[in-house]
């Protein structure tokens, strides 16, 4: 059984979908802990499912490195096989990425390498894109630049604003993320062998 730590910053709707999937009989992974970089609303989902959680508030540390060292320490307590960044709106310092690589994946609301960064949905709209998408990638030390594990296109509709478009992307993200976790757990997907088809 693959053990998974999930890191969030916000509402955690994708986290909740993963918790529900992992709760279903036969799913080959289990969530062992949920962590956040702030008092995120999404931590409630962990509580609902009886999963332990921790918070390492970014604002309380003098540097990204110090924050990362504390985060790394918390993660090590749980010894997860895989770390899922599910709306963690914070770049991990290289020390953390290097310690866990390639066992960290990230879900992103755009069709990478298009529109990386913190505002993937807003940037797609600003660019006038007629389609965007969702991607699940391996985390490396760049900004959303790691190998792509799964991605799917989502059309941009004429009346879309950031909220409506993001709400249409999220169900696609959830499906891709759950499938990636399942395939990592069964050994179908080898993170170490993932390469970037760009």
How is residue 29 annotated by DSSP?
A: E
Choosing from 45, 90, 103, 108, the residue that interacts with ligand GAR (CB under 6 A) is 108
Task: Indicate whether 11 belongs to the interface with ligand GAR (CB under 6 A).
Answer: yes
CB nearer to ligand GAR: pick between 126 and 186: 126
**Of residues 35-54, those binding ligand GAR (CB under 6 A):** 42
Task: Indicate whether 146 belongs to the interface with ligand GAR (CB under 6 A).
Answer: no
Task: Indicate whether 170 belongs to the interface with ligand GAR (CB under 6 A).
Answer: yes
Task: Indicate whether 118 belongs to the interface with ligand GAR (CB under 6 A).
Answer: yes
CB nearer to ligand GAR: pick between 40 and 191: 40
Residue 106 in 3-state DSSP? Answer: strand
Q: Is 108 a catalytic residue?
A: yes
Number of C-beta neighbours around residue 57 at 10 A:
12
Hey, what are 164's tokens?
Answer: 């409506």
Alpha-carbon span 64 to 52, nearest angstrom: 24
Choosing from 35, 80, 93, 109, the residue that interacts with ligand GAR (CB under 6 A) is 109
Of 55-63, 71-79, 92-100, 101-109, which part binds ligand GAR (CB under 6 A)? 101-109
To ligand GAR, the closest distance from the beta carbon of 116 in angstroms equals 8
- Taking alpha carbons only, the member of 127, 98, 92 closest to residue 111 is 127
Name the helix (H) or strand (E) containing 105: strand 104-108
The dihedral region occupied by 50, where left means phi > 0, alpha psi between -120 and 50, and beta the remainder, is: left
What are φ and ψ of residue 83, in 5° steps?
Answer: -115, 130
Alpha helices (H) along 24-126: 43-48, 64-78, 94-100, 120-126
To ligand GAR, the closest distance from the beta carbon of 65 in angstroms equals 20
Active site residues: 108
The residues binding ligand GAR (CB under 6 A) are 8, 10-15, 42, 86-87, 89, 107-109, 118, 120, 170, 173
């Amino acid at each position: 059984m693959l053990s998974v730590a999930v890191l969030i910053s916000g509402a955690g709707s994708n986290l909740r979908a993963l918790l529900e999937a992992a709760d279903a009989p036969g799913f080959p992974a289990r969530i062992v802990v949920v962590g956040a970089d702030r008092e995120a609303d999404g931590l409630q989902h962990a509580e609902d499912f009886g999963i332990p959680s921790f918070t390492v508030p970014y604002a309380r540390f003098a540097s990204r490195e110090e924050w990362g060292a504390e985060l790394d320490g918390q993660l090590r307590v749980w010894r997860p096989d895989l770390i899922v960044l599910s709306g963690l709106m914070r770049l991990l310092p290289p020390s953390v990425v290097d310690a866990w690589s390639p066992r960290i994946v990230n879900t992103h609301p755009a069709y990478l390498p298009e529109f990386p960064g913190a505002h993937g949905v807003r940037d797609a709209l600003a660019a006038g894109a007629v389609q965007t998408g969702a991607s699940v990638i391996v985390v490396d030390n760049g900004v959303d630049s790691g190998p792509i594990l799964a991605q799917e296109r989502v059309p941009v509709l004429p009346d879309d604003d950031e909220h409506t478009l993001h709400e249409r992307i999220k169900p696609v993200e959830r499906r891709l993320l759950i499938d990636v976790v399942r395939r990592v757990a069964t050994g179908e997907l080898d993170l170490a062998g993932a390469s970037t088809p760009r």
